Each structure stands twice: as C-alpha cells, then as structure tokens.
Amino acid sequence: MKSFSSLKDSALKTLENKWGQFVAITLVAYVIGSGVGFVPYVGTLLTLAVIPLGYGYSIAILKNYRGGEIQLVDIFDAYKNTEVLGRVLLTLLLRGVYIFLWLLLLIVPGFIKSISYTMTEFVLNDNPDLKYDAAITRSSELMNGHKWEFFLFSLSFIGWFLLSILTLGIGFLWFTPYYMSAKSAYYHGLLEDEANKEPYGPDDYVKVLPTE
C-alpha cells in the first residue's frame, strides 16, 4: 500500500479543475439525502429509497478517479435499471443489518465490521456478478489485514472533518469528494496489493529462475 500522503496527493490530482463540479454534485446529494427524512408519513420509506443515491455518488467519485467524465446524472445511475437497483439496494441494506447486529454485541466489533464492509459499493461496481453476501464478503477479503491501517487513514482526515463542522457543515461540500477520492485511491491500493500476493504458478516460477 502506498503512503497516506501519496494516496491523498493522487486523490487531489483527480479533483484539479473539478472542485466546482463536485461541490455541486455533493450539494445535490446532501440535499436529497437529508431532505427526504423530513417528508411526513413516508420519510422512512424515502430514506431507504435514496440509499442507491449514496452508491451512485461513490461510484461517480471512483469513475472520476479512473479518469472518466462525470455528470450530475451519474449519481442516479442505479435507478436506471431495476435489476441494478435491486442488487444495490438489497446488498447495502443487508450490510446495514449486519453492522447493526454486530453493534448489538459490542461497539468495537460493530465498528470493525463496518470497516471490513466499507468497500462494498466499489465491489458492486467492479463485479456485476456479485451481490448480497458475496459482495460484502469480497469487501471483507480486500480489507483483511488493512482494517487498522484504513482506520488510521480515515483518522488522518480529522482536521478536514473538524473544519467542516466549524463552517457549519459547508466544508463537507469539499471534504466529502476529497475523502471519497482518497478512499478510491485506497481501494486501488488494495487491488494492487492483492494482485501482488497472487501465488506463482509453475510457468511463473520458471520465468523467475536465474539464467546462465
């Protein structure tokens, strides 16, 4: 895994000349996500309905990190296909249930599990064949041996978080895309680490034998 500073630098680089765009996208996501809870009678139901919006936001950030062009409508991608919508919604709901059940045992195990499951959105995007338990398990596999490291990585953004609070939440419009871009960088680091740990097969072993 690259250093924290390297991951952050790569995240900031992907946001160059795009801050205005991502501040606007973040604002729209926040307004919709927080506003539905205040709708009388159906607020809870609408809150569940906007879960795929958070997924769409995460994937838009990942797409930008990978050099893709982003538009505001990208955060609504999960709603364009009922199969994708069901897959995303049910998987993320299941993740929430798992975390809640772990929290019922003890706070610390629940917190650890939430870190294990944190890459589920990215896993869903990169593996269309995975859903529900399989996608959550895949996230856990990627985070195996990296949970404490990711906690420290997230903790390194504490200054940005506190500043966002001091600005009455306005700072989150900049902090959120920055943090999510850095998380995308971390996700790529996990994939690279996993690829480097792949065991050698017979043919690979022959290739690394010294030649005379």
Q: What is the pLDDT of residues 115-126, one digit of tens each?
A: 999 999 999 999
Helix, strand, or coil (residue 4): helix
CB neighbour class for 170 (10 Å; exposed up to 12, middle 13-18, buried from 19): middle
Cα–Cα distance between 62 and 180 in angstroms, integer? 8
Query: Could you tell me if 59 and 125 are in contact, meaning their C-beta atoms sit under 8 angstroms apart?
Result: yes
Name the least confident of 28-42, 123-137, 138-152. Answer: 28-42
Q: What CA–CA distance (Å, rounded) separates 137 from 168?
A: 37
Q: Among candidates 167, 184, 177, 160, which has minimal Cα distance to 18?
A: 177
Q: Calculate mean pLDDT across residues 165-173.
A: 94
| pLDDT at site 43 | 58
Rounded to two decimals, the pTM is 0.86
